Structure 1
Amino acid sequence: MKNTYTITGMSCNGCRTKAEKALNEMEAVEATVTLEPPIATIIAEKSVSLFKLQKALYKAGNYVISEIDASNSIYSTPQASTMNALALPSSASGKYYCPMFCEGDTVYDTQVGCPVCGMDLVKAPDLTATKTKYTCPMHPEIVQDHPGDCSICGLDLVPKQAVEEQDTAYLDLWRKLKIALVFTIPVFIISMLEMVPNNPLLQLMETQKWNWVQFVLSLPVVFYAGWMFFVRAWKSMLTWNLNMFTLIGIGTGVAFLFSVAGLLFPQYFPDEFKHHGTVSLYFEASVVILTLVLLGQLMEAKAHGQTNKAIKELLKLAPTEATLVLDGQDKVISIHDIKKGDFLRVKPGEKIPVDGKIADGEGTIDESMISGEPIPVDKTRGDGVIAGTINGNTSFVMLAEKVGSETLLSQIVQMVNNASRSRAPIQKLADRIAKYFVPTVVIISALTFIIWANFGPEPAAVYGFINAVAVLIIACPCALGLATPMSVMVGVGKGAQSGVLIKNAEALENMNKVNVLITDKTGTITEGKPSVEKVFSVNDEADTLLHYIASLNQYSEHPLAQAVVNDAKTKNILLTEVKDFEAISGKGVTGTVANRKVALGNKKLMEQLNSAVAEDLETKISTEQKLGKTVSYISVDGIAVGFVSISDKIKATSASAITELMRQGVEVIMITGDNENTAKAVATELHLSGFIANCSPEDKLVAIQRLQAEGKIVAMAGDGINDAPALAQANIGIAMETGTDVAMESAQITLVKGDLQGIVKAKNLSQAVMRNIKQNLFFAFIYNVLGISVASGLLYPIFGLLLSPMIAAAAMSFSSVSVIANSLRLRSFKI
């Protein structure tokens, strides 16, 4: 059996070799990987699941494998492929899975912890809307799944608000972090004051008693708050899946046990390891590192919960009930009881319950959640309608054609779920280093013991044991634990001050790598609301025509009508009474204003009223329409005398932001649900790298997947519900705070001011933070390299020096202080 896949994440021939080797290590699999294009050809005796292939690639690096589907081409690029999202099946809703996908799509009924890596399992979101329960406001014990009367008092039952399930994993981590902080802070203070001349604590008690205080205070941190990290370290060693937890477990565990031994049996330690007659201990190193790692786990748990929140917001868009028309009678039923072929009545202002078509009547539907465009769409008999969109001020009967998981809204929910879990987990630097660092440190420690025990001074075995332990302690990643969270903490705070809200460290890291920005048009590049661009009059009476059409529209709630009225108000034009007003569905409005018969609408309305349109006026209108403007004819007393052009204005900051991003090497591509003419006009004016028009939510998602399959790091900027799947799929999702809650929950970065200038700030901040993190890691690794060398006794034969625990503590503190001081420099960085 032969299959071909796309692999993303490879940047050189070395990557290609590692990916090919990882796949060939699988049983009964023969793989060939090419770099240009990034394709894997796999020959196997039987079908191999995508999850198993992905699991094998995880061991090689941050590579993502996906199936090729060339049937849906958005770009004309040959061999373009669609990334198949690495996601859980819908049947996994409400169950638990490992975020590292150690066992592919395996799910569990309870939060038991991953048996491979020990990570806390994450609950998969429920992808179906919760069925509405009804209760009596006076007798809450009366609960049923359909509307009706209370059997006790006769009151109408009201919908019962479902209580959202709290994230137990997040709450558990938060509780442990609070406990860890309570006990860690005093241990840290006691330890640091030991290095202060004339330590004030010694006036209260001697050093030995303060050591006992540290020991007692560290017990809750080690054996409760941080105990899970030792469990994960043990599991990682049993499965030989060495990672960050292996490093943390060994380092903090040895530091704690060494400190306990030094506290209980100081007589067995050489004088070189004592200070003022007591052995210098490392309780603070253990508890500080465990607390920092716990903070990181809390941030990860919060990030996992963002997807669930986004899905819950999407599910709220669908109504919980609908009006069924049966035998001429209206009956309110649950949305879950709707069947294909049912006739449903949609009243003014109601959300459409399922996908279908209008069977009787007409309406003006707000479809902005799907198209992203603010202008409602007129619908008549036979036209299709979409679940979750909002009906205007008329009533109609629709035929249900797609229900349940078949509706477009349900498909958007599934796409958000798939996309948010399609990326491979970030292989943190500590994890990658741990695969080599842990066994290296253990080997150095073992060699240290052997060499000292055989060639060292008496007591040789004691020296050998203590120096071997010192190697393990000095390898404890205290500064490494501070390097990233300190920079991220300061960077996130700096971003918030500048109107850039960043959810996690992953967003900061990936923003630095972004080379393609996909942006929506409406509400992102443009203001997101229709406004009058011009009123043209063949008789140079534009203000008079504006007075007529604004008066005609003053009682309408249609967005286009409101745009006209608002324009008149800004020009201080007074509106007058309208007589014989009539709204002609799908065409426009007519009425008498100041004794003149005025009509405003499309060309069909002009033809219906037999209003003559001059050829020159028709040419001007055609020119405006080609620029993507919405144009309405104006007729007075049976003659077309002008038009009103309405558009969505480009934000003042969009042009400069796009120019700066492109200067930094970022391609800017606009993907919009708007028509080709409008999209082309905006793209030309802003000199964009490219654009795609008439896009559905799925088209946006697929376009981003194609770019990612080409090895691009993609950021997506949007503000609507229709952008949610694309925001979740992108390497970085950027939402405008002026947009919907769903968009903000699906994104990793939110811009408070809602303009593209915030993206420039986010990218500049990301570059500064990543540069700062690399500097911090340099300090941390230099300390480890030098510290391990000295701890192993490398300098003893030449200078007779051993690493005193006091010196080690001072060096560790200096390393941490240097990392903290360097991180704080970000506060003065100008973005």
Structure 2
Amino acid sequence: MEAELQVRSSEGALHRERRCDLCGLPLSKARSRSLMGGEPKEFCCPGCKAVYEILVSKYGELPQKVESTELFRLCKESGLLGQSGGKAPRSGSAAGVEASYSLELWFKISGMSCPSCSWLLERLLEKVKGVKEAEVSFGTELSRILYDPSFVTPGELMEKISSWGYQALPVQEGDEARIRAPFSLRRVVVAALLTCQVMMISWAVYWGFLEELGQRAVSYLSVPIWVLSTPVIFWCGFPVMRRGIAAMRAWMPNVETLVSLASLSAYLYSMGSIFRGSLHLYFDTGCMLVTTVLLGRYVEERMRAKLRDSSFLEMARLGFLKARVWRRGQEEWVPASQVEKGQEIEVREGETIPVDGIVTRGQAMVDNSSLTGESRPVALARGSPALAGAIVLQGRGFVLASGPWSASLLGEMVSSVMEAMKIPTSWDNLAQKGLRWFVLGVIALGLSSSLWLVVSGQDLKDALMRGLTVWAVACPCALGIAIPVAKSAAIALGRKRGIVVRNPEILERGGRLDEILLDKTGTVTHGNFEMREIHCPEENCEELLSIAASLEAASEHLIAKRIVASALERGIRLEQVQDFHEEQGSGVRGLVGKRRVFVGSEVWMRRSEQRISPALLEKAREYQSKGFTVAFVAWDGSVKGLLAMGDALRDTASWLVQALVRRGMRVRLISGDSKVTTSMVARELGLEDFSGEATPSDKARIVEELKGEGKMVAAVGDGFNDGPALALAHMGIAVGRRARGPGGGADVWIPGGELEKILEALDLCKKARRTVIENLVLSGLYNSVALAAALGGLLTPFVAVGAMFLSSLTVVANSWRLSRCPLGAHALELGKTPFRAPSCEALQA
């Protein structure tokens, strides 16, 4: 934390303002002082001083991100910090200083009925003082809020959200949201019981069953009807009213706005009838509207919860795992987000591994289904990679962390899925624009129909019922949720199957492809190169390997890693490298000792003006004809030797090519390897189209050329040398863990690297597009027919509300059907069962 801050006074002079050494707030006269490690520290209040002392005694020093510690959060939320009487600097205040930190908060928000709700919540939250950023996802019902704890607390944010008609709970308590949701079963039951009483009395009055009592005596029954209706409208329907009013205030009318207008109009009209002594009461209409809305929302939320199957919530919860860390011989629990690289953590039976790392001690059997979608035990022993999210089925072990949870494979998966849920597709944008005008149009249409009947001489009662029916029957929710619910179902299904959808736009394209480009190394091959031969006619082979490995140690390429590993296995010591440069897909160069060394392909040698002797070139051709990948090693202007490495095809590579061809796609193999080696692999796969010696820019150019011909193109690769091609293709598919970096521009990520899931991804896109179209057709057809019937006087408000929610439930049920669709039926095309690649080995690759 900054202890001092430069502040410009009103006279324009700069002076240094003392700040609290814990929270960073300005110091008041009632400051607290303490001597910490021989250095004087000042605090704005006793609470900050106490928290500072506790953190230093616990960790030995103040954590870098003190605001992320649980102790700081707890004390801040309890109001124990910053209570010196001095106020936090506000934006635009005289101090002109904002707090130098912000916290991230995740909420599980229930009660959202359509995408307009998430849009409304984002706008309202962004207006709260202290909220820097707010993101609300309708599909996942999760909210991420970046806020300044100096201005607002999580409790205050929860109260704000509650005041707008929604329920917010921290992610860890998300299951309780269903119980305490605004449309809870308690409100539904109370509304239903009271509405039954209102309907029973009203029925007796309307049908003349009490005529013998006289009109004056019967008119007294309007009082109990009014008394029974009031709690239904204003208590049971409070979430509906509050949400509808909040939407109107934000100029974002929604279905709750329509229901609120209809039920309040019926209630107020009936109140006026009581004072006029009339028996034409419509309390029953208002009560039925509210009760039907509550029941419909309750059923809809339950169905949406089943649709999601808590998958998104469980993913977010994994970010709150804690790690058992050993410090100075003592066991401590720290959040997985605060685990540092190089720390050793312990995991025991039944626990979830919180971060990625390498097993240093112990043995265990784990379940990696949260990563790969395949529930099968995987053995871990010393040296095995341990992945965050894996559940320890048996045994225990110690893991050397490779970083915090956010840097883990699962952390990147969660981040990708959450990001995909936030990305609006072109259909989303079109639907949102249409919805806003649709609701306003329905309001105007209801008023116009009522006014037209009044002007035409119709009874005021009939005019009111016509307007109420038009407002009640219109269902913008069905149109609003048609796309997001289907998108959520598709993304959730993909995650369960080990397929991460990064760009939801591809769901609209439906997997319609003409040509698919397959990268060779690390995609159709395992990428596990083995050093087969070292050819160096004029140099010492061990020295040649030492020089090449020293240079390649700075590269992340698969071949580079294999060269380095081969040198280390032989006990060769690596040298320091200077002026390192890597040309993606071609080779590397740098200073090893006093030599300017070049390692890479034949093209790289010629481009670097390194002479290749005819004998070495002939030997390279011999290796390439065997399918080996050849790395040339050169210095002093000529190639000194060759490194020949072999790689094996994946078991499912040929099967994948056949399946794609059967689907009518043209398949082409592209590689940065030599043309001879690429042709050998293409021949094994049964392909005639291939391109060798292709640089990353060449791969991107091929994609652009095919797109220019009007073809729908997909590119599949490991994301290392083919990142630009993956980003430019209509559908980029990255396979394997390496896709976390340069392959981030891909539309789909298959972390496990299983090739058969490429076909599953195509199936997923096709089914998602079909579901979206079905949803839009169903909701559009409903609104067209329902509005026409309402305007023609063929519906009552009660029937209209029931039909409205039936349409919403139909859309949700159709999307739920998508989540139950099996993927992998494509295996039947070849008359074989789907191949299941060993998940652990695939992830290691």
Query: TM-score, structure 1 length as denominator?
Result: 0.46
Query: TM-score, structure 2 length as denominator?
Result: 0.46
Q: Of the two structures, which has the highest relative contact order with CA contacts closer than 8 Å and spacing of 6 or more?
A: 1
